[in-house]
Amino acid sequence: MKTQNINIEKEIATEIQNTFHTAEVNIKRNKRIEVKLRNDLIPPFLSYAKNYLTFNHLAHFSCVDWIEQNEFELVYIIYSYEKGVIVLAKTRIDREKAEFVTTRHLWYQAETYERELHEMFGINFKGNDRLNEFILEDWEGIPPYRRDFDTVKYATDNFYTRPGREDAKDVRENVTKINKEEIPEFAKEYSVRSLK
């Protein structure tokens, strides 16, 4: 069974590579393929994957904020019941403009994901006419999942903090020591900031 499955992934990967020459296809591990694409190739790729490669289930659609590169990375996770393989289709869009096209015509549930990304990251999906208020109510200011949104500051400014938690300690140093791990460089800065 297992040896068969690895062949399936290779087959799919070459199939994708042959159709989309500019795509960057990696087999991450058993049953998982990552496809990085130019953003204008995403709609044709998804439609091709759905209709031709039988990836007819949109398992998840999310976004990563790469503030350092001034880009949003959109991640479509699609699954084929027939092949039992997951494909992660990734693409980058401009962070300032934050605009993309909808994939509602392929999967109806994409609409809900797009509404969430619209609310939490402020991405506008052209063609989706239901990008209205979703989970947050009466939200003003920058969307909360963007990395330049300072959650701690917002929370302390807007909500009353009961005194008594000032001595909360950053336990991560001890935890990493016990587990013989290291705090990554970027995370150090955040842990210090959140304590102030």
Partner 1 sequence: MIYDKSSGKIVDIIKNYARKHSLWIVAYGTGCGAIELPPTMTSRYDAERFGIRGSATPRQADVLLITGYLAVKTLKRVIRTYEQMQDPKYVIGFGSCTINGGMYWDSYNTVKALDRYLPVDVYINGCMPRPEAVISGFIELQKLIEAGKANGAKKYKENLDWYRENQRKVIKNWKMPDYNW
Residues that bind partner 1 (CB under 8 A): 135-138, 140, 144, 149, 151-152, 154-156, 158-162, 164-165, 194
CB of 166 to partner 1, least distance (A): 11
Q: 33: exposed, middle or buried (C-beta count within 10 Å: 0-12, 13-18, 19+)?
A: buried
Of 1 and 163, the one with the shorter C-beta distance to partner 1 is: 163
**How big is the chain by its Cα radius of gyration, in Å?**
21
**In angstroms, what is the minimal distance from the CB of 189 to partner 1?**
16
Q: Which is nearer to partner 1, 21 or 162 (CB)?
A: 162
User: How far is residue 4's CA from residue 31's CA, in Å, rounded to a whole number?
Assistant: 11
DSSP 109-159: THHHHHHHHHHHH--EEET-TT-S--SSSS--SS-TTSTTS-HHHHHHHHS
**Burial class for 34, CB neighbours closer than 10 Å (0-12, 13-18, 19+):** middle
Q: Which is nearer to partner 1, 164 or 184 (CB)?
A: 164
* Residue 26: CB minimum distance to partner 1, A: 35
* Nearest distance in Å: CB 159, partner 1: 5
- Is 70 or 151 the residue whose CB approaches partner 1 more closely? 151
Q: How far is the CB of 73 from partner 1 (least distance, A)?
A: 22
The DSSP secondary structure of 24-40, one letter per residue, reads EEEEEETTEEEEEE-GG
d(CA 191, CA 169): 10
For residue 74, is it left (φ>0), alpha (ψ between -120 and 50) or beta?
beta
Which residue lies nearer to partner 1 by CB, 51 or 151? 151
Q: Which one, 81 or 154, has the nearer CB to partner 1? A: 154
CB of 179 to partner 1, least distance (A): 20
